[in-house]
Structure 1
Amino acid sequence: MKPVTFTLEEANLLLPQLQEELIKLQLLAQQFEMKFEMLHQLKEKRRNGSMPVNGGNGEDPYFELESQLEFMRMEVELAVGNFERKGVMLKMINPGLIDFPSILNGEEILICWKQGEERATHYHGYDDGFRGRKRYPDAGLTN
């Protein structure tokens, strides 16, 4: 299967949908972190002896939180996979950083968008990373 490449215009047309999906993913990641911290605190209480070994009722005190975390982990993986299935590279969840494979003057590049930017206007080489960003030619003139 041939890899997907984007023009600057195509990247910017897809961006609103990706931004919406990114916000949902960020919220899910935040919820995951909160539940993970709750689980860590429960386990710490147990180690310190301030919580009964079996939760006081014979049940596993971690089962529900661990199950929720596992389900949320699968949701995160699915959401990240949705970016990949669209042909884009989700480089960072928070703040959002998305690269769109492209070709400029016969060279393979990545059109780069960072959350907070109104539109994609920069690019970098595959080995340059975010610090190697350059203004895309005529980026201000493309819709």
Structure 2
Amino acid sequence: MNNRRFTLEEANAMLPRLREDLAKLQELVKQFEGLYQELKQAKAEYLLQPAGQEGGDPFFEMEGRLDFLRIEAELFIENFTRQGVLLKMIKPGLIDFPAVVDGEEVLICWKEGEERITHYHGWHDGFAGRKPFPDA
């Protein structure tokens, strides 16, 4: 576990790169979900075909692509962790940065669509407990 603590300035400086990584992760998730639905449909149609057809696994390629997309997404998620930030939600993006405000352990929080970080909340308060960051 990374014990890094961020200042508001450090967190805001990381945002452009984190936004890029989040967008790539969201695209991977979108591709995964689309391919998963295609695979489900293909398997349902396959089950309706007459029995006794020979051949290899007709879903091998799609399942392999799903595995690849899953592994790629996991690498992006691990990258957030390695940087010391907490990816709370992929869509919409929600990222927390551990910090100390007025001597209290808190999470500086950013939600996709916000231009910069301006709020924080306690570790157990969640997004609903957001407070304006002093001097933001």
Q: TM-score, normalised by structure 2?
A: 0.95
Out of 72, 76, 85, the residue aligned to residue 73 of structure 2 is 76
- Whole-Å separation in 2 of the counterparts to 1:122 and 1:53: 60
> Could you give the per-residue CA deviations for residues 13-66 of structure 1, whole angstroms, max 9, x where no partner exists?
00000000000000010000000000100111123x1x4568x66121110000
TM-score of the aligned structures, taking structure 1 as reference length: 0.90
- Secondary structure in 1 matching 2:120: strand
Please state how far the C-alpha of 1:2 moved relative to its aligned partner.
6.2
Shift of the 96–52 alpha-carbon distance from structure 1 to 2, 3 Å rule, reads farther
Listed as ranges, the gaps of 5+ residues in structure 2 are: none
Aligned length: 136
In 2 relative to 1, CA 29–2 (structure 1 residues): closer, same or farther, beyond 3 Å? closer
Give the corresponding residue for 1:11.
11
Residue 58 of structure 1: aligned partner? 55
Contact in 1 for aligned 2:2/2:81 (Cα 8 Å) = no
Q: Aligned Cα RMSD in Å?
A: 1.5
**Is the CA contact (8 Å cut-off) linking 2:119 and 2:132 kept in structure 1?**
yes
TM-aligned CA distance change 1:59 to 1:113, over 3 Å:
same
Which ranges of structure 1 fall in alignment gaps of 5 or more residues? none
Change (3 A) 1:53 1:105: farther
Residues 1:119 and 2:116 are matched in the alignment: yes
Which residue of 1 is the match for residue 98 of structure 2? Answer: 101
Partner of 1:41: 41
Structure 1 residues 70 and 105, CA, compared in 2 at 3 Å: closer, same or farther?
A: same
1:87 Cα deviation from its structure 2 partner: 0.2
Q: Which runs of 4+ in 1 moved over 6 A?
A: none
Counterparts in 2 of 1:30 and 1:124: CA distance versus 1, 3 Å: same
> For residues 112-136 of structure 1, what are the alpha-carbon distances to aligned partners after superposition, in whole Å with 9 as ceiling and x for unaligned?
0000000010000000000000100
